[in-house]
Structure 1
Amino acid sequence: MSPARRIAIAGAGSIGCYVGGCLALAGREVRFLLRPRLCDELTRHGLHLTDLDGTDRRLPAEALALSTDAATVLGGADLVLVTVKSGDTAAMAALLAAHCPAGTTILSLQNGVGNADILARALPGRRVLAGTVPFNVVQAGQGRFHRATGGPVLVEATGDRLTDILAVPGLPLAAAADMPAVQWGKLLLNLNNALNALCGLPLRAELADRRWRRLLAAQQREALAALAAAGIRPARIGAVRPSLLPRLLDLPDPLFRLLAGRMLRIDPEARSSMWEDLHFRRPTEVDWLQGAVVDLAGRAGLEAPVNRRVHAAVKAAEAAGRGSPGLTPDALLRGGSGP
């Protein structure tokens, strides 16, 4: 697989547009499969990529291959990066089966732990790989996608040129030998997505507040207990071992800032993708995050009451359709519906 081969972004939202934009800026041939609203926005404004390090790059609309038609984007693709939300994986798998050539490589760059398996079951005989994107991307409007946190994209180690194709400026990348462990390690961090969606605060302000960090730590302890019971060792994502994350998050604010200042290196206005989902009245991925913890705990005969409470609160916010409910930590634990 050479860098000149065609790459398709299947479900180009925040992550897909940022990743695909970095690849296109590096000279890769990239096609974007988008929803009509975003396709119209990029057709008008082009693609504008920025990040917390001050990088500012643009691709004019005429340099982009944009379409809402799956056959146009997926037909002839050599590599497909699947970036849809977890709830859309099965539907995307059907499109891939219908339109991709038999030799296409499929790479899942999604949250959660089971999406690559869903794709593989629906695409027998195809090469399906797992990956994960650690950073947060914010849609800022008028075609601008802003990377608000850091970290390298991790992809399943393959022994071929896949990493050479994807490792381009603005997109640090590394190969991982045990992707299930990596995905569970990422899920531990992603348990904060729901808290951020429910409180409505910017990520940095939320994580600077010990009350919210202790709720995240409680969720992680439940997840770690379930993982231990299942014999799963999550990988370290970043500088801190998974087993130490809850203790670090529990620290008083001054000590947390001193010892974990890197965790607060976040764009001041960044919010989680789940906050964005509530804001735009879209289904969230809570079933694949908190829901996955509750399911794993249940199979081991354990309870996960904090994850269950957070899951229920996100579902209630989805049903209400009014964006973030702006909960306080106490209101969330009480099962309340407002600050």
Structure 2
Amino acid sequence: MSAPGRPGPAAAPPGLVLVMGAGSVGTYVGGCLAAAGVAVRFVGRARMGQALAAQGLVLTDLDGARRAVPAAALHWSADLPQALAGTAAGAAGPALVLLTVKSAGTVVAAQALGAALPAGTLVVSLQNGIGNAARAAGAAPALAWRPGLVPYNIAELGPGRLHRGTAGELAAEDDPRLRPWVPVFAAAGVPLRLVADLQPLQWGKLLLNLNNPVNALSGLPLRAQLLDAGYRRCFAALVEEALQVMAAAGIVPARVTPVPPRWLPPLLRMPTPLFRRLAARMLRIDAQARSSMADDLALGRPTEVDALSGEIVRLAAAHGGRAPRNAAMLSLLDPARPAPAPLPAQALWAAMQRG
């Protein structure tokens, strides 16, 4: 028994973790687990793998924590069969899979997992948006899919350097096989909360994620963008429209910040000095934080705007309505068009009115 006031020993990991589609989020979460002694295999882009092979992995956060995993301890592969080859996972399968591909890659990744892993393998979708776990289950029905949620932003500060710039804890739909992992994730510095119904939290998180296209189009770090009244007005309009669409669909988003969802638009529209004071917890973001959508835009990759604003546009259409401001985000970040240059807040607002 541990002494009072002192943490007990870290729980023994229940098995191997496979991170499928390891970008910034997947590499951060998996890297924290690996730094805590969990056996982790990563499947991700060659670019990230080459950087980790040369530099190792350094993980930092806004609380001042620093974790490092040497290159020799990182098991990175560009494809799934290679990740599973030569391990017990190849026969018995990993104990837990974290799916962290971008939303557009969900079906392809799920099909690959379904072909490679034993039936019943537990997979948690740590992706943006609402329906990724359901889409994955349609593509690989033999696996046990559970929706999950990542509340924070991870910035790639340089080769092999990932930084968590905002606060929060992971969440997933409860499953008896996930419960032994809760103390493991906590010991690794990435706490995991299990809930009976994740969907209200997902809708609440989606409301906050509607700032991602605003942030990407602003060209600013998150904190600087949120302290700009013009960009906050754009964010508030997207949230307000989304709340109206959700209400028409009978959806009640959960509260995922100190501010109830319906209060978010009025708060965002307050003058900056008052907003800074009342939204102090929301602004607990360090200067290095930015949205993953901003990173994708900077790297010339398609963004996940369709899993965010697109979800609102489709929900509106399903109930006989429209969501023109969120539709404007889809248009501005259309992957068929050249990547837009940063837009001043006034220009972004004008484009939203044309949506």
Scaled by the length of structure 1, the TM-score of the pair is 0.94
Q: Which amino acid aligns with 1:106?
A: V
Checking the alignment, whether the CA contact within 8 Å between 1:313 and 1:332 is kept in structure 2 is no
Q: 1:78 aligned to 2:88?
A: no
Aligned match of 2:332: 313
Cα pair distance change 1:3/1:219, threshold 3 Å: same
Q: Which amino acid aligns with 1:149?
A: T
Deviation larger for 304-313 or 287-296: 304-313
Aligned match of 1:148: 165
- Paired with 2:303 and 2:187, the residues of 1 have a C-alpha distance of 30
Q: CA deviation at 1:181?
A: 0.8
- Paired with 2:129 and 2:270, the residues of 1 have a C-alpha distance of 27
> 2:53 pairs with 20, 43, 47, which one?
43
- Paired with 1:61 and 1:206, the residues of 2 have a C-alpha distance of 35
Aligned match of 1:241: 260
RMSD: 1.7
Deviation larger for 326-335 or 214-223: 326-335
Unaligned runs of 5+ in 2: 1-10, 85-89
Aligned match of 1:326: 342
Moved over 6 A (4+): none
Q: 1:303 aligned to 2:322?
A: yes
Checking the alignment, whether the CA contact within 8 Å between 1:134 and 1:152 is kept in structure 2 is yes
Aligned match of 2:234: 215
Task: Please give the residue correspondences for 1:1-339 in structure 2 after superposition, counting only pairs within 5 Å.
Answer: 3-74=13-84, 75=90, 76-159=93-176, 160-315=179-334, 319-321=337-339, 325-335=341-351
Q: CA deviation at 1:114?
A: 0.6
Scaled by the length of structure 2, the TM-score of the pair is 0.90
Deviations 1:153-191 (A, max 9, x none): 111122442423433332122112221111111100000
Checking the alignment, whether the CA contact within 8 Å between 1:310 and 1:332 is kept in structure 2 is no
SS in structure 2 at match of 1:221: helix
Unaligned runs of 5+ in 1: none
- Paired with 1:215 and 1:256, the residues of 2 have a C-alpha distance of 15
Q: Which amino acid aligns with 1:334?
A: A
Q: CA deviation at 1:320?
A: 0.9
Q: Which amino acid aligns with 2:273?
A: P
Checking the alignment, whether the CA contact within 8 Å between 1:86 and 1:112 is kept in structure 2 is yes
Deviations 1:55-74 (A, max 9, x none): 11211011111111211325
Q: Which amino acid aligns with 2:337?
A: A
- Paired with 1:325 and 1:290, the residues of 2 have a C-alpha distance of 20
Deviations 1:256-280 (A, max 9, x none): 1111111111121321111111110
- Paired with 1:257 and 1:334, the residues of 2 have a C-alpha distance of 25
SS in structure 1 at match of 2:328: helix
Q: CA deviation at 1:233?
A: 0.7
Q: Which amino acid aligns with 1:246?
A: P
SS in structure 1 at match of 2:210: helix
Checking the alignment, whether the CA contact within 8 Å between 1:133 and 1:153 is kept in structure 2 is yes
Checking the alignment, whether the CA contact within 8 Å between 1:4 and 1:29 is kept in structure 2 is no
- Paired with 2:46 and 2:26, the residues of 1 have a C-alpha distance of 15
- Number of equivalences: 333
Deviation larger for 324-333 or 163-172: 163-172
Deviations 1:100-142 (A, max 9, x none): 1223101000000010001111122321101100000001122
Q: CA deviation at 1:15?
A: 0.3
Q: CA deviation at 1:2?
A: 6.7
- Paired with 1:212 and 1:333, the residues of 2 have a C-alpha distance of 8
SS in structure 2 at match of 1:281: coil
Q: Which amino acid aligns with 1:164?
A: P
